[in-house]
Amino acid sequence: MEILPILVFFLATVVSTTQGHEPLVTHHIHLLRPKSGAGGDSVPGVSCLSWRLGVETNNIINWKTVPAECESYVGHYLLGHQYRKDSKVVTNEAWLYAKSLNLTNDGKNVWVFDIDETTLSNLPYYADHGFGTELYNSTAFNTWVLEGTAPALPESLKLYKKLLKLGVKVVFITGSGEGQRNVTTTNLKNVGYHTWEKLVLKGSTYSGNTSYVYKSTERTKLVKSGFRIIGNIGDQWSDILGTNVGNRTFKLPDPMYYIS
């Protein structure tokens, strides 16, 4: 597959946590060219970009798979520079916001992080499974999770470290089941997330509940126990909608799957 060499490059980049800057690009003003996409793609590229925009803005909801014709588009987006640049814009804004706050250092300020496609990246798995064009297979996905080898999303790891220095506590809330606590803990620590206030996994009492309900309930518990959620970051809208979402929310890109 043509994207495999790029995957190797991407993984090397992710694992070594990037310090490099994006090359400067000379910008030209073009007349609108209705049938060309960013990379000079023809019509399918344009519709896949529109589809991704619809997904990221929560206009397209409850979708099960990435359109088959967009596999290459989504693959190139995720393994190329754009995904990383888009993530960086999000985490930079989060940081600018966090450092602008006049926080009372009483140990009650928390930042909620989702895990999959926010804190850790499952791209190595999805690159082998059609970048979301295949139906979710829990058996195959859980086998990957149990390896405990998901790399960090570099931009989120940087934000995490800066927030800790600011005295903000981190709470992870993930849709992964309680049975994955051990491997999740190990994976997080191995890639640089060394400390947290709480790691909340989805307990069996939530079976049958949407992520939206589960995460809202867990955030409400946090607030009732005296924490202030000053910020909240995730790749799904269900991470950042509902009750007690936090003073500000930040949405990372994820064109691979939808969780309600």
Binding footprint of ligand NAG on the chain (CB under 6 A) = 101-102, 104, 137, 139-140, 182, 186, 208-209, 213, 230, 247
216 touches which of ligand NAG, Mg ion, none (CB within 5 to 8 A by kind)?
none
The reply on whether position 114 binds Mg ion by CB under 5 A is yes
Binding mask 208-237 for Mg ion (x = CB under 5 A): ---------------------------x--
230, β-bridge pairs: none
CB of 230 to ligand NAG, least distance (A): 5
116 binds Mg ion per the rule CB under 5 A: yes
Alpha-carbon span 189 to 129, nearest angstrom: 26
155 binds Mg ion (CB under 5 A): no
Is 258 a binder of Mg ion (CB under 5 A)?
no
- Token digits of residue 211: 């992520």
Among positive and negative, which fits the CA dihedral 222, 100, 248, 256? negative
CB under 5 to 8 A by kind: which of Mg ion, ligand NAG, none does 235 bind?
Mg ion
d(CA 152, CA 18): 11
Q: Residue 233 corresponds to which tokens in the numbers above?
A: 């970051």
Q: Which residue has the tokens 């790749």?
A: 235
Cβ-proximal residue to ligand NAG, closest one? 208
Shortest distance (Å) from residue 118 CB to Mg ion: 5
> Which residue's CB is nearer to ligand NAG, number 1 or number 140?
140
Q: Residue 48 and residue 65: Cα distance in Å, rounded? A: 13
**C-alpha to C-alpha distance for 48 and 68, rounded to whole angstroms:** 10
Chain residue whose CB lies nearest Mg ion:
116
Closer Cβ to ligand NAG, 137 or 195, answer by number: 137
Closer Cβ to ligand NAG, 55 or 188, answer by number: 188
246, 119 Cβ separation under 8 angstroms = no
Contact of 200 with 228, CB cutoff 8 Å: no
CA distances (Å), origin 15, targets 27, 40, 124, 214: 30, 30, 12, 31
Binding site for Mg ion (CB under 5 A): 114, 116-118, 235
